Amino acid sequence: MTVNGTTRLCGLIGNPICHTMSPLIHNHLKEKLGINTIYTPFLVEKENLKTAVEGAHALNILGMNVTVPYKSSVIPFLEEIDPMADGIGAVNTLVRTQQGYKGYNTDMTGLCRAMQAEGIRLDGEEIIILGAGGAARAVAYMCLFYKASKIYLLNRTLSKANEVAQELNLKFERQAIFPLGLDEYGNIPVKKYLVIQATSIGLHPHQKQCVIHDSAFYELAHTGYDLIYNPEITQFMKKIEGAGGVSYNGLGMLLFQAVDAFELWNEVEVSDEVAMETYEVLKNEIKKV
């Protein structure tokens, strides 16, 4: 597609950003949908964040993604924030409005959509989440937002799991989250759960590691969802499958956070067919890394 007088720009701000897969996804989507935009990464230094957001608006930039380390620190510079992103306290997608940008968290709507695409539901579900860091907290928030009935939140540092549980139980006005240490899964009633792995354990190049080793734990899972996508099959996923469960990596989340952002910026719907084709492109590219 040629760049002309009506081409609009979208971008990604973060630091570092050189390993991002987002340009691949967005530039593929705009080709498939015939949309006249370009997506490019912008390396932004911490002290320039406010200027970068204001400058992007002044330059009529259509939308921005935001990555590490700015997902929370960018919020004060936004005009508006979506309620779920506000509750999570982190945004990864900025959508242009008249006065500034509105922030969304498509990491979480994208995770939900990726799970839905696999037939995984959250409404009324009992879920086990591993971790209590920023990612796990966002996942717990998202699960409650989409009406999960109960969450067991397991973390190495129990005090952090307690904090997240206390905060979100208060926010959602019900005792929905039960915090536990990593070795306390014996306290979880024996039945089958969706288990979401939201720690950084098992990420390349430490692919032999997993957050819980004991195979008895994995008997609790009907499905395991790892937020990690590199390696393609994590140790967590192997253990889930070993115990008879179905497992997924985080590549679907990576895809759908971009699809959700693309749809918000361009006011279009990406079909399942185009999404799946983009997924294959992404999968092949990641294999080369």
Q: Does 151 bind ligand ATR (CB under 6 A)?
A: no
From the list 30, 32, 46, 71, the catalytic residue is 71
Q: How far is the CB of 130 from ligand ATR (least distance, A)?
A: 8
**CA 275 → CA 30, 172, 188, 205, distances in Å?**
12, 33, 37, 28
Q: Does 131 bind ligand ATR (CB under 6 A)?
A: yes
Are the C-beta atoms of residues 149 and 121 closer than 8 Å to each other? no
Q: Does 251 bind ligand ATR (CB under 6 A)?
A: no
Q: Does 136 bind ligand ATR (CB under 6 A)?
A: yes
Is the preceding omega at residue 69 within 30 degrees of 0, hence cis?
yes
Closer CB to ligand ATR, 48 or 200, in the complex? 200
Closest CA to 259 of 26, 11, 17: 26
AA identity, residue 90: A
Instruction: Looking at 146-219, list the stretches that DSSP marks H as alpha helix, in order from N- to C-terminal side.
Output: 158-171, 215-218
Closer CB to ligand ATR, 22 or 155, in the complex? 155
Q: Does 67 bind ligand ATR (CB under 6 A)?
A: no
Closer CB to ligand ATR, 80 or 86, in the complex? 86
Q: How far is the CB of 132 from ligand ATR (least distance, A)?
A: 5
- Residue of minimal Cβ distance to ligand ATR: 133
Q: Does 270 bind ligand ATR (CB under 6 A)?
A: no
Which residues neighbour 136 within 8 Å (Cβ) at sequence distance 6 or greater? 129, 130, 153, 155, 164, 198, 199
AA identity, residue 104: Y
Give the SS3 label for residue 248.
strand
Using the rule CB under 6 A, which residue among 12, 122, 135, 165 binds ligand ATR?
135
Closer CB to ligand ATR, 28 or 137, in the complex? 137
- 191 in active site: no
Q: How far is the CB of 209 from ligand ATR (least distance, A)?
A: 7
Q: Does 156 bind ligand ATR (CB under 6 A)?
A: yes
Q: How far is the CB of 70 from ligand ATR (least distance, A)?
A: 13
AA identity, residue 149: S
Which residues neighbour 25 within 8 Å (Cβ) at sequence distance 6 or greater? 254, 255, 258, 259, 262, 278, 281, 282
3-state class percentages of the chain: helix first, strand second, coil last, to nearest 5:
45, 20, 35
Using the rule CB under 6 A, which residue among 133, 167, 188, 238 binds ligand ATR?
133
Note the residues at the interface with ligand ATR (CB under 6 A). Answer: 131-136, 155-157, 160, 199-201, 211
Residues identified as active-site: 71
